[in-house]
Structure 1
Amino acid sequence: MPNIKSAIKRVKVNAKANVANSQAKSAMRTTVKKAENAIAANAENVQELVQSAHKALDKAASKGLIHKNAAARKKSRLAKKA
């Protein structure tokens, strides 16, 4: 544990950001997985789920959770499957 006040604050802020980022990334993965499962099962709400997955990927890329090219790649592969 650091002794300097600003370093202590950095540790706290980083821990808080880590939790938020983990939750956001997990939510993004979940929406993508739901869309992929719907595509595999030929569900009738595939377009809605793919659209929400695209939105989640864009949001994650804009927040810096994943690289923008990774988001574009995942979106492209999802669209291709659908």
Structure 2
Amino acid sequence: MANTKSAEKRNRQAQKRRARNTTVRTTVKTALKKARETIATKDAAKTPDALKDAIRTLNKAASKGVIHPRNASRRIARLTKAAQASKAATK
């Protein structure tokens, strides 16, 4: 339990940030899941849109400081690589 006014304020700020970060992380996970599913189904029409959405949400999360920029970059690279492999396999 916080003993000082400043500690109470920091606790309130941490709770707000935690809630915001949780929301953003959930959004990122959902976008990644959708992208992976479309890549797995080899749906050439939906894959670019899902990939674009996932990249966008990852970049937003990284710019807001929710996830580390290198973490976002690594995930984007792996998704893109999987999409390219899927595209090559369908040809």
The corresponding residue for 2:69 is 68
Q: TM-score, normalised by structure 1?
A: 0.94
Instruction: Number of aligned residue pairs: give it.
Output: 82
C-alpha distance after superposition, 1:10-63 (max 9, x if no partner): 101101110110110110111011000000012221100000100011011111
Once superposed, what is the RMSD of the aligned Cα atoms?
0.9
Q: TM-score, normalised by structure 2?
A: 0.85
The corresponding residue for 2:33 is 33
Distance in 1 between the 2:29 and 2:82 partners? 17
Runs of at least 4 residues off by over 4 Å = none
Distance in 1 between the 2:72 and 2:17 partners? 21
Shift of 1:2: 1.2
Identical-residue share of aligned pairs (%): 38
Segments of structure 1 that go 5 or more residues without pairing to the other structure are none
